[in-house]
Structure 1
Amino acid sequence: MESVDRHNQEILKNAEAWQQKPSLRAIYSTFHQSIAKHLAALPYPTVELGSGVADIQRVIPGCIRTDIFPNPWIDQVENAYALSFDPGSLSNLILFDVFHHLRYPGTALQEFDRVLAPGGRVILFEPCVSLLGLLVYGALHPEPLALNQPIQWDAPPEWTPSQIDYYAAQGNASRIFLKSKIRQNLHGFRVVKVQRYAAISYVASGGYSKPQLYPTAWMPLMAAIDRLCDRLPQIFATRLLVVLEKVT
């Protein structure tokens, strides 16, 4: 098992790109707006788990930004498997590029069920496996897709949340939520929404680690290309939005 410290090393590298790429900040703002449309309207806090460097508070004011490491822009440290929040005390949990880092997603969902109020939501924003997604996340991304690896839904009995390590399987959300034959026990949640986005503008921006392939002034054109490619998700989708709601 690889040390979880690798997560923080990646976060610190990403912080540099976040400051240097206005296009990246603009694209994330669009992603966050898509997430905001699906928030449960309950009178409790909204929490983002694994916030990284992207500032979701610009779109969702008051959202509590958390991560497993303390950094200056993080509100508090949280472990997805052992959250510090009281039972039924949250309206929403947002996981942006976090679900595919959960080695035991079913165990995490049990913890999410504990802290969310009835009708509360878990909103996932993940890599999507389409024809283009296979290229982007398979050949051009260092994290594995792990499409042929088994998903261990629940942690073994002897495991504890303090034993978290570095894990990545970028294809997990697509396998679970786009292929109903392997849909797992969602531990008290129902699927409200599954939506695919082409997000060509993000791919061509180079993300955090690669060069941008278009001038920032072309952002409106890239947004138009995104809308066009959204019509053929099996070919072009590179992002997946999943909304889960706690059954009351």
Structure 2
Amino acid sequence: MSASAFDQRQINHRSQWEKKESVRLLYRDFHRQLLENCPDGSVLDIGGGTAHVKDFRPDIVSTDILFFPGIDVVADAHRLPFRDGSFTGVVMLDVLHHLERPIEFLQEASRVLKPGGRLAMIEPAMTTIARRFYHYFHAEPVDMNADPFAPITINPNRDPFDANQAIPSLLFGTPAARRRVEKVLPWLRVRNLKWLSLFAYPLSGGFQSWSLMPPALVRSTLAFEEKVPEAIRRQIAFRMMVVLERL
């Protein structure tokens, strides 16, 4: 398939990935943490984008709603073409906040997990500091008044890149929200929530053209972040990692 067949946003994303060593190092750490939270066995990557997870673990089954080299299966995350209990792990990186029907997706993800399997995802976190940056300086919207549990009429013309960065925090950012998820989806349990991306990722510029994070400083900055007390992390983190287990 020629490059002209891909969405220009995919091409730009992959171009920045190849140019920015700092981002590759940061994503390697994200992928490490996601996979460490999954049991040994087959792993499904949902919303793989340009399939950069394959640089870390080539045997992962990578899906996305848009095709790109490295994507194994083109599929809607709300309707996965896999049998029940096919995987021991499902991983996602910046995907949940793009999904039109997050509760329906969580039901589908739990269906393809084996009992004891885990869904691990890293998503934007609406902490005290990060929320302001996302609201004023990020292209994707933040709507804290949205109800991720509300039924949605399917929009067949919806852009796959549409998003609400608040969705993960509305579902998992507080104990009350997590209890509500477990009540609606009683076969899932939230096993871990970790606050990530304090300094290194914001300074890297992500997939923008600029960066203030030299590759040589990535490892030491991440090590420093791990030592920051959780009470501070939950106020300044730009991302959250949520791990759910299939009962």
Structure-2 change in CA distance of 1:215 and 1:198 (3 Å): closer
Structure 2 runs not aligned, ≥5 long: 1-5
> In the aligned structure 2, how far is the partner of 1:164 from the partner of 1:190?
30
- Retained in 1: the 8 A contact 2:39–2:117? yes
Report which stretch shifted further, 177-186 or 27-36: 177-186
- Retained in 2: the 8 A contact 1:129–1:174? yes
- Retained in 1: the 8 A contact 2:47–2:63? yes
1:172 corresponds to: 167
Question: How far did residue 179 of structure 1 move?
Answer: 1.9
1:240 aligns with 2:245: no
Query: Size of the alignment, in residue pairs?
Result: 236
> In the aligned structure 2, how far is the partner of 1:221 from the partner of 1:81?
38
Runs of at least 4 residues off by over 6 Å: none
The DSSP-based 3-state class of the residue aligned with 1:217 is helix
2:48 corresponds to: 51
1:139 corresponds to: 136
- Retained in 2: the 8 A contact 1:230–1:237? no
Structure-2 change in CA distance of 1:109 and 1:223 (3 Å): closer
The DSSP-based 3-state class of the residue aligned with 1:51 is coil
1:4 corresponds to: none
Alignment RMSD: 2.3
The DSSP-based 3-state class of the residue aligned with 2:139 is coil
Question: How far did residue 64 of structure 1 move?
Answer: 1.1
1:193 corresponds to: 192
1:222-237 equivalent positions in 2, closer than 5 A? 222-229=221-228, 231=230, 232-237=232-237
1:128 corresponds to: 125
2:61 corresponds to: 64
> In the aligned structure 2, how far is the partner of 1:31 from the partner of 1:218?
16
Structure-2 change in CA distance of 1:163 and 1:153 (3 Å): farther
The DSSP-based 3-state class of the residue aligned with 1:202 is helix
> In the aligned structure 2, how far is the partner of 1:218 from the partner of 1:25?
13
- Retained in 2: the 8 A contact 1:229–1:236? no
Describe the superposition over 1:185-229 as per-residue Cα deviations: whole angstroms up to 9, x where unpaired.
Answer: 235211111111134111100000241013333324433442344
TM-score (norm 2): 0.86
Letter in 1 for 2:142: L
Question: How far did residue 181 of structure 1 move?
Answer: 2.9
TM-score (norm 1): 0.85
1:15-26 equivalent positions in 2, closer than 5 A? 15-26=14-25
Structure 1 runs not aligned, ≥5 long: 1-6
Structure-2 change in CA distance of 1:89 and 1:216 (3 Å): closer
- Retained in 2: the 8 A contact 1:68–1:77? yes
Question: How far did residue 238 of structure 1 move?
Answer: 1.0
Sequence identity (%): 30
- Retained in 2: the 8 A contact 1:23–1:216? yes
2:72 corresponds to: 75
Question: How far did residue 168 of structure 1 move?
Answer: 0.8
The DSSP-based 3-state class of the residue aligned with 2:108 is helix
1:101 corresponds to: 98
